[in-house]
Amino acid sequence: MSLLDHTHNPAAQSWVASANAADTDFPLQNLPYGLFRRAGSNENARVGIAIGDQILDLHLAASAGRWSSAVQVLLQPLADGDLNSFMAQPAAQRRQVRHALFDALLAGSKQQSALTVALVPQAKAQMAVPCRIGDYTDFYTGIHHATTVGKLFRPDNPLLPNYKWVPIGYHGRSSSIGVSGSTVRRPLGQLMPPGAEAPVRAACKRLDHELELGLFVAGGNALGEPIPMAEADDHMFGVTLLNDWSARDMQGWEYQPLGPFLAKNFATTISPWIVSMDALEPFRSAFAHPASDPQPLPYLDSDKNRGEGAYEIELEVWLQTETMRVAGEPATRLMRSNFKHAYWTLAQMLTHHASNGCNLQPGDLLGTGTQSGPEANEGGSMLELSLGGKQSLTLPNGETRSFLADGDCISLRAYALKEGARRIGFGECSATIVPAPQL
């Protein structure tokens, strides 16, 4: 059953004027959730909704607005700054809050005068990781990334036999997840120099980004109780941008036989806003594996997943070097791809994760893996764009890069765009690389 409703009306306008700009990431139809405090203040972090260039402070809005008794109860965890408790609510109740917020921010709303005092300019807000992330798992659903990287190491067999049968993933480290606008320190680790007989401990020399989306889990499941595909959508809260930073030289030495470890757990950056699954409803599309590929096992298949399990989301990576920043030059775009190319859907990721009875919890984060496109210039990492460091990219100012340098700022951007729907953005996911600590 379609969940499209009046909150997806592309003609709807807000009394917050900046939300009506054609190029805003945060129109009335979006209403993503984030956690913030006023810059320079000591106030407790509070949950907010992005609307244009403003934030609706839900701590203030809950008391200043005129809400039905049912909505007032549902707003309470948000007013308390507890997004995780709100995530745990059933999908119908979360949708009820979306409807109430949409109606309150709609042009002509009787709530305007009451809620104006609850607006905070985004420029005056300090953003935080939007919720408590208990566990973080990173998948490998970008088949074009997996194929290109596989060819670098296994030219005759780029995809391992299980790739087209099972959503591959590994458990990451939630403690090192940071929000956009932070710095990432170049990691130290064991490296095996070419031709050497023993590794050395040194600063990573092949630091890389990975362009991903992150899915936040809504209501979880009891230990030992799988989540079937028919219920997967109700367990998905929303999507953020995610940069899975990678130390490629450390990774190449340590990943066998158990997979990623120190090459990944030193930093992950996410955008500050969680775009709800309801906001993305207009951008669903059909999903299918190629007819010549193995088809999903029954527990990973459903009519709904085949009919509308994919999401069309444009993805971009931008780079601004320190030299560009000093010269006042803007960032340059390195690539563009689309999430529709993912080999497994969000619902399949979540269902597979819980299929052995693993208990997911509200606020858990599932990364999608690097989302590259089918063309050579659509690689979602420097590893792909430089063919493993064999060729350098020349930037508009003449600088070259095969991997990332200290002072580089990487920004991920995303937006859902479809005829007949309002453009939905995700905000930036940016971080600047700083030098490794001294040995």
pLDDT digits (tens, 9 = 90+) for 235-249: 999 999 999 999 999
The most distant pair of C-alpha atoms in the chain lies apart, rounded to whole Å, by: 74
Rounded Cα distance between 284 and 307, Å, is: 9
Question: CB–CB of 336/378 below 8 Å?
Answer: yes
Specify the DSSP element, H or E, that contains 248: helix 248-254
Q: How does pLDDT run across 342-378, given as a tens digit for each residue?
A: 999 999 999 999 999 999 999 999 999 999 999 999 9
Question: CB–CB of 369/141 below 8 Å?
Answer: yes
pLDDT of residue 439: 84
Rounded Cα distance between 15 and 412, Å, is: 29
Question: CB–CB of 125/39 below 8 Å?
Answer: yes
Rounded Cα distance between 172 and 176, Å, is: 9
User: For tokens 């244009």, what's the residue?
Assistant: 52
Rounded Cα distance between 424 and 276, Å, is: 11
Q: Which two tokens stand for residue 44?
A: 């407790």
Mean pLDDT of successive 10-residue segments in the chain (439 residues)?
Answer: 89 98 98 97 96 98 96 97 98 98 98 98 98 98 94 86 96 97 97 94 98 97 98 98 97 91 97 98 97 97 98 98 98 98 98 98 98 96 96 97 98 97 98 95
Strands in 85-229 per DSSP E: 119-121, 125-128, 136-139, 169-171, 177-179, 182-185, 188-191, 200-203, 207-208, 211-217
Domain 136-434 part of CATH 1.10.10.10: no
- Residues marked active site are found at 145
DSSP 325-374: HHTTPPPEEEEEEEGGG-SS-HHHHHHHHHTT-----TT-EEE------S
pLDDT of residue 1: 53
Question: CB–CB of 72/62 below 8 Å?
Answer: yes
Domain ranges of the chain: 6-127, 136-434
End-to-end CA distance of the chain: 58
pLDDT of residue 220: 94
Q: Which fold has domain 6-127?
A: SH3 type barrels. (2.30.30)
